[in-house]
Every structure is written in structure tokens, then in C-alpha cells.
Amino acid sequence: MSNQKTPEIPQLRPKERFGIWLLMVLLRTTALTSRVVVRNMEVAEQARERYDGFLVSTWHQDIFFSIWMFRSLHLTALISASRDGEAIYQVMRRFNFKATRGSSNRGGAEGLLDTLQVLKAGEGIAIAPDGPLGPPLEAKPGIVLLAKQANVPILPWSYTCRREWRLKTWDQHRLPQPFNRIEGAFGEPLLVPPDSPPDEIPRYCRKLEDAMRRVSYELRS
């Protein structure tokens, strides 16, 4: 493990813990009353077999229901060491997720170093490339740098549903409603050559954004 100092994890208030319980009830209710389909889970399985480690890229607004759709993959998530990040983790850990803690704002260097070690150990990592505070739907360099350094693919991910609520948050977080049809898919793996020069990193960020938009478009077409 990293020798860096572990970021301090905030303690949640009783009101926040009650909110987490409500989210878990909504997540399970929606999943169990809806038709939920992942078109091509084999993309993740093939990446694990070929590369050992891999990165799953999901927009921050898609985290909530992706937790359910990823539960069989036993992923590790890079989660902010903030109060909001702790709330997200308390939901995720009940659905077969582990976590490394850190972001561009709190504990970032420690989280990225630990995440790199997880990838080199052959595990899958889930990252929201526009987190923790946006701008929404814009990929930051962290996920591309991890893919480059660990020599693993990025798997673009998206899902669509017929009915949803939108939270009044920076990412307009999506909450699919119960009694729904929810369909998710992975895009083609994106590889970042280990010898890519630093000035190429922004181009790969744009390629990732394009790939994620393409998955979303194909799901809706």
C-alpha cells in the first residue's frame, strides 16, 4: 500500500444515514420492479481476462443505478474523501464494491496511488471522470493517466431508462423510477499507449467523452 497519509473520512450524521437507507430502498425497489438489461457484460469479462485490470468510466450523474448494474463485477471505486463521497460509499459497499479514497480536491494523490496499485493487482476500477464537482460530462485527466501508467483499457459506460427523476445537484443526478425499463452497455475499450507524451492526454480525454456519448446515443437509438 501507499506510504502517503490516508485522507480523513468524515463521520455521517444520523440524518445522512437515514438518507442512505432511503436510497438503498429506492435502488432495490427500482431494480426488482424493472426490466434491467446489460447488453454486453462480456466486454468487462474479456478485459479482465486479457488485461487483468481495467477501468470503467461512468459519468457522475449515472452512479446511482450503475451501482446495481455493476454488482456482479466486484469493482473497486475511486471515491472522494468528502462527506458526499462517504455517503456514496455507504451505498456501494452493500453491492460488492470496495473503495480507494481520494479525489482532485481531497486526498487525491493518495487515492490515485492506491488505485494504481489495485489496477496492477489485476482488479477493475470504477471512476466518474467528471467528479467530484464537475464540470459535468467533461473528462478530467486522472482516468487517462491511470490507464496509461497501468497499461489497462478504459471501458466507457452508459445506461438509459424510460422514466427518471433528476436531482438539483451540479451533475443533475439521475434516479430511475420503479417499474421501468433500464438498459446499460459498455463501449469499445479505449487504450492509452504507455509512451503517450503529456500533451496527448487532453486528446484522450476528448476521445473518452466521444466514446461515452456514442454509447449513450446507441442505447437510445
Say how many domains are in the chain.
Answer: 1
pLDDT of residue 92: 93
Which tens digit of pLDDT belongs to each residue from 151-162?
Answer: 999 999 999 999
pTM of the model: 0.89
Residue 23 per-residue DSSP state:
H
Which tens digit of pLDDT belongs to each residue from 7-53?
Answer: 566 788 888 899 899 999 999 999 999 999 999 999 999 999 999 89
Integer-rounded Cα Rg, in Å, for the chain is 17
Whether 173 is covered by a domain: the verdict is: no
pLDDT of residue 13: 85
pLDDT of residue 106: 44
Whether 6 is covered by a domain: the verdict is: no
| Look-up of cell digits 445537484 | 169
Q: Concatenated DSSP letters for 22-62?
A: HHHHHHHHHHHHSEEEETTTHHHHHHHHHHS-EEEE--GGG
Whether 197 is covered by a domain: the verdict is: yes
Cis peptide, bond prior to residue 178, ω within 30 of zero: no
Which tens digit of pLDDT belongs to each residue from 107-152?
Answer: 455 556 778 888 888 889 999 999 888 999 999 999 999 999 999 9
pLDDT of residue 157: 98
Query: To which H or E segment does residue 102 belong?
Result: none
Which residue range forms the structural domain that includes residue 141? 14-162+183-220
